[in-house]
Chains A and B, each alone.
Chain A
């Protein structure tokens, strides 16, 4: 009995799940995974990215040189988005501002998430005092209000683009670190990491090969969210006059410069504000609809 059933049992075990047909992963299929609202977000995001990269070449005239006496002009055929408090074309300004807003925010976010994730992996994989020192140290950083910190940095080192990137980066490291550490600590307790440890693997291997691939998904989603926060921080810094300095202008400073138009009903204050809103909403839509996320939530592996 035993000898006759064992081979069948073995083959039954080996053949149990039918070989799933390989999933085609064409770019179109991937795009379809976003769903309608995700695609809308993606379109808006793409628009702003293109504007930031190609804008100055597409526009026939430079914004700064366009000063006219037509201050706070409404939307017209000559000025699609009206003019600002110096009579410059708003369309050109917003598109030029996109470079600063998106560029600085992107760099700062990458800096923050990258540093946070690396530190978190180090903390989780080595544990003990490294974890304690890093966690408490970054907790201290969280205790300082972000705007106050930025104010001090700008007061101390002056306002420049690299300065802003570093400041925003430092402010958002603890958040990214907290997120990544909580994910990494869970992964670190799993058996496959223990197996790697008993194999004698070093900390670096465990950090990069065993833990990192398994926290990458959530960390990318977090990166998107953090990007939104950085955009808002930079905009508010610029609104306070601490961000990008004139004559260059990002969207936050455009709002501040044209705040006078609020009373006159001009488009020049609304447009940059709408630009900020559309960018942050678009990024959120994209993150919320990243392909595969819905499937993951259903628990499908």
Chain B
């Protein structure tokens, strides 16, 4: 059903800078090509160009894009418009942002057929229901009458796939379709995507930064770097015998690596103890219970120099735990002990010294650094605030901090806007280190970073822990990351702590079923992993007819 795609010498420019440089590749009908690379490598720009589209400020400056017999770039605007959504369709990263919240799902899914006048509404709806069924959506007959907020994120992502596939396109472009999803949801969505892509023999271009995900989907992988092709080869070839240095770097970053701390737990002092902690949001009733309880009865012990990972899906209360420890949210029950003393529940009640010893590092370095302050001022403030440093010692200390996080000293005069994501995250870490804390609360610090950059930041964090002896409470949804840096893992679901697993037992069972589900859901960097999972799921389903956990 799919059509061959040929791209020749595609170049895209924005002003004076070249975003995509002379890119040539082709995809056979029914095959899946993955575009992989770090952010800013031109993946999405290339993908959009396949529809003849360039984002504002960008311009397709040369080359040919041919889908079947159509030369996309030679068409005029009107004919390109009629091409999009019918011959080529696009599945974007955030389905939540791509659906109109005030119209029903069915209205939006059949929209491409209405716009292009492909078939009657009733026909289109029947086809949509068929697609819902193929994509393994629950209640396929009625899900269309719901509104986007009434379905989950993973379901919405699959509904967007239905929207893209309803016009029977020759080419489907999937732009990071599972990046915003939890691992357990991701696997469902991947499974559904792969099934429809295979059954319909669609030609697809899959854009992602995650090699493990791509390994399950793609026949060929194209590695992009700075708009240039680094390597293009069959998936097995890339995974087993990469040629290009950058590809090797990507592969190394994607493979689990244990970053040992050298510090054993148990023989050092107890640093943080969380006892029967409960907290929530909303008005508090007579018994002191908030309207919406987020955390229930959490117990946790963290020894000096230890790193504990907190893992769970979005909404499991991981971040709320960090906020309660930091004093940003007043617990309704339980207490937090720090270094032998009870910590007061709110920020205002804690002393500056207590505040200094616990620092928090946030996920989005973009919003964690004030865009109007230079790096110098950002780093100088905690030094002035806690230690009253000024003049030469202040300068020395700032340079030390920059050296510590491996940033060149010249960045001190820049604004955060002039730094890359990884550099910002380093500044973010440096600011926390400036206070010389005993405990750093890391809230998804690597989630917004590319694999290679994230690996470097994790290396840095492990090194800092060895050198400075700081402890981490490391919050993440990514088991992979947590396993590589943490001595123990706390698994959370629905605001409760399910289990705690020590490093020595990571690979030894038996564990709580939810931990096992999480561990199983992390894509492995090999082909056929998803098939094995399907197989395992099928045998499990025949053994236990009802599944315990729904994604």
Contacts and interface: CB of A to CB of B under 8 A. Distances in A.
Interface string A85-113: 00000000000000000000000000000
A13 B385 CA distance: 30
A14 interface: yes
B468 interface: no
Interface string A174-200: 000000000000000011101111111
Interface string B309-331: 00000000000000000111000
Contacts of B327: 198
Given A10-B456, A198-B327, A213 B373 contact: yes
Interface stretch (B215-223, B265-273, B406-414): B406-414
Nearest to B408: A14
A6 interface: yes
A16 B246 CA distance: 13
A301 interface: yes
Interface residues of A, number: 31
A146 B509 CA distance: 74
A135 B58 CA distance: 44
A199 B355 contact: yes
Nearest to B353: A200
A213 B372 contact: yes
B367 interface: yes
Q: Is the interface of A mostly helix, strand, loop or mixed?
A: helix
A9 interface: yes
Given A190-B367, A195-B368, A6 B423 contact: no
Interface string B407-441: 11010000001111011001000010001000000
B355 A198 contact: yes
B347 interface: yes
Contact of B420 (A17, A190, A196, A298): A17
B459 interface: yes
Nearest to A187: B370
B420 A5 contact: no
A20 B418 contact: yes
A19 interface: yes
B456 A6 contact: yes
A301 B417 CA distance: 6
Contacts of A12: 249, 452-453, 456
Contacts of B385: 199-201
Interface string A189-228: 0111011111111000000011001100000000000000
B364 A191 contact: yes
Contacts of A199: 355-356, 381-382, 385-386, 435
A198 B426 CA distance: 19
A195 B420 contact: no
B540 interface: no
Contact of B252 (A1, A17, A19, A301): A1
Interface string A8-48: 11101110110110000000000000000000000000000
Given A9-B455, A14-B423, A214-B370, 20 more contacts: A1-B252, A2-B252, A5-B248, A5-B253, A9-B252, A9-B456, A12-B249, A13-B423, A13-B452, A14-B406, A16-B420, A16-B422, A17-B423, A19-B410, A192-B367, A196-B381, A198-B326, A198-B360, A200-B352, A210-B370
Interface of B: 56-57, 245, 248-249, 252-253, 257, 326-328, 347, 350, 352, 355-356, 358-360, 362-364, 367-373, 381-382, 385-386, 406-408, 410, 417-420, 422-423, 426, 431, 435, 452-453, 455-457, 459-460
